[in-house]
Structure 1
Amino acid sequence: MAIPFHCRCGTVRGEIEPGAVYTRAVCYCRDCQAFARALGRGPEVLDPNGGTDIIAMLPAGLRFTAGSGQVACLSLSPKGLLRWHSACCNTPIGNTSRDPKLPYVGVLARCTDVAPDVLDAAIGPPRIALNTASARGEVASTPVRAAFGILRIVWGVLRAKLSGRHRDNPFFDAATSRPLAEPRVLTRQERAEAERG
């Protein structure tokens, strides 16, 4: 069963294929925190310790069913990750590499349109904590689980390359490999403000 997702106002909608999920983790890095705050969505996206619940998956397993023209992109630096959101209501959607050949997208679990227990049953709960040194509170690190999670991502990326599914990425134009939307790079001041929260 596909997992539906949508932006806050419902303009951007889509589905996630559970079988395309590599793993799930909560990331406490400063960049993930800054992304949510730059869009004015920190309180909705971040947990009390500044963590973002991320579904790491194959981009080919995600599809937009409505509002793809409202998908926008920002980056925290000129060479940083592409961080996708809805232009209509600034809902964070996920992040990808700048290289469309890397079959990875980290989708924010808060975008999904199912109850938390249904999401946990479909793809498993987040058992990995990443970048805990940047957490805004006490968070236990999970080095062993993180190592296994990274291995699952690497294995998923390799499988996608071998099967040819790495070519299907809804965040990039298939013919030109250009991003679906031109990335807006934050100024140093904007980034500093987002990091301060």
Structure 2
Amino acid sequence: MSAPHPVRCRCGSFRAEVVHPERGTRAVCYCKDCQAFAHFLGPPPGMLDAHGGTDIVAVSPRDVRLLQGAEHLACMSLTPKGTLRWFTSCCRTPIGNTPRDIRLSHLGLVHTALEGEGRDLDAAFGPVRLRADRQSAHGRPPASSTLRSFTTILRFVARLAVARLGGRYRSNPFFDPATGQPKAAPQVLTLEEHRRLKALV
């Protein structure tokens, strides 16, 4: 088993750790929603690469342990039924994204909360295995192999199914296990706010 990998915000008020980094799967997402989230957070830059992609590590929520500053966790959603995008209220560091339904046991951690202290994402989580929504990228980002992409998606679906059937989805530090509701009330953008952000990507 690998040593836990730290998760922290820029100012250090929020800290957590991934207790089984070897189970994580890296992907780069170029979708316009991830790009809009970066613009929502504002400066400092660093969430998006040169092609507008976000390096994300997909983990099971139960593999994340909150250590400090849980009161600084906030979340937003681009639309009333959209993905919950978590960040810190103290310094607006992107932390990750989760589905709205606690039964879908998934957490995509943003690389900006995983870097620092000399930690190498390749060493901790392995190479990028999937590049999603390349049609929304700026320019021509590298492509991932079809076989690797298919295998990654298959593993992801299997992990969701196992967590759902075994009840492990309830172990999620971002949700109340009793009510299934997110621990921070989502800030849902208005239609005008949504349009304004999408115009920036």
Q: How far apart, in 2, do the equivalents of 1:130 and 1:75 lie?
A: 20
What are the superposed Cα offsets for residues 127-159 of structure 1, whole Å, 9 maximum, x if unpaired?
Answer: 321100000111233343222111111122223
Label 1:69 to 1:16 Cα distance change in 2 as closer, same or farther (>3 A). Answer: same
Matched, 1:15 2:11: no
Matched, 1:184 2:187: yes
Q: How far apart, in 2, do the equivalents of 1:58 and 1:20 lie?
A: 11
Label 1:57 to 1:41 Cα distance change in 2 as closer, same or farther (>3 A). Answer: farther
What are the superposed Cα offsets for residues 135-185 of structure 1, whole Å, 9 maximum, x if unpaired?
Answer: 011123334322211111112222323443221001101121111100011
What residue is the counterpart of 1:111 in the other structure?
113
Helix, strand or coil at the partner of 1:158:
helix
TM-score computed with the length of structure 1 as normaliser: 0.92
Helix, strand or coil at the partner of 1:44:
coil
Q: How far apart, in 1, do the equivalents of 2:132 and 2:18 lie?
A: 23
Of the structure 1 ranges 11-20 and 50-59, higher mean CA displacement relative to structure 2 is found in: 11-20
How do 1:38-187 residues align onto structure 2 when only pairs under 5 Å count? 38-41=40-43, 43-114=45-116, 118-142=120-144, 143-187=146-190
Letter of the 1:89 partner, please give it.
C
Q: Which runs of 5+ in 2 are unaligned?
A: none
Helix, strand or coil at the partner of 1:127:
strand
Label 1:162 to 1:114 Cα distance change in 2 as closer, same or farther (>3 A). Answer: farther
Percent of aligned positions that are identical: 46
Verify the 8 A CA contact 1:15 1:64 in the aligned structure 2.
yes
Q: How far apart, in 2, do the equivalents of 1:21 and 1:109 lie?
A: 16
Helix, strand or coil at the partner of 2:112:
helix
Q: How far apart, in 1, do the equivalents of 2:86 and 2:67 lie?
A: 16
Verify the 8 A CA contact 1:24 1:54 in the aligned structure 2.
yes
Q: Judging by fraction of residues, say which structure has more helix.
A: 1
What residue is the counterpart of 1:26 in the other structure?
28
Letter of the 1:66 partner, please give it.
Q
Verify the 8 A CA contact 1:23 1:152 in the aligned structure 2.
no
Q: Which runs of 5+ in 1 are unaligned?
A: none
Of the structure 1 ranges 120-129 and 67-76, higher mean CA displacement relative to structure 2 is found in: 120-129
TM-score computed with the length of structure 2 as normaliser: 0.90
- Displacement of 1:113: 4.0
Q: How far apart, in 2, do the equivalents of 1:115 and 1:128 lie?
A: 26
Aligned residues: 197
Helix, strand or coil at the partner of 2:135:
helix
Q: How far apart, in 1, do the equivalents of 2:119 and 2:22 lie?
A: 19
Of the structure 1 ranges 79-88 and 164-173, higher mean CA displacement relative to structure 2 is found in: 164-173
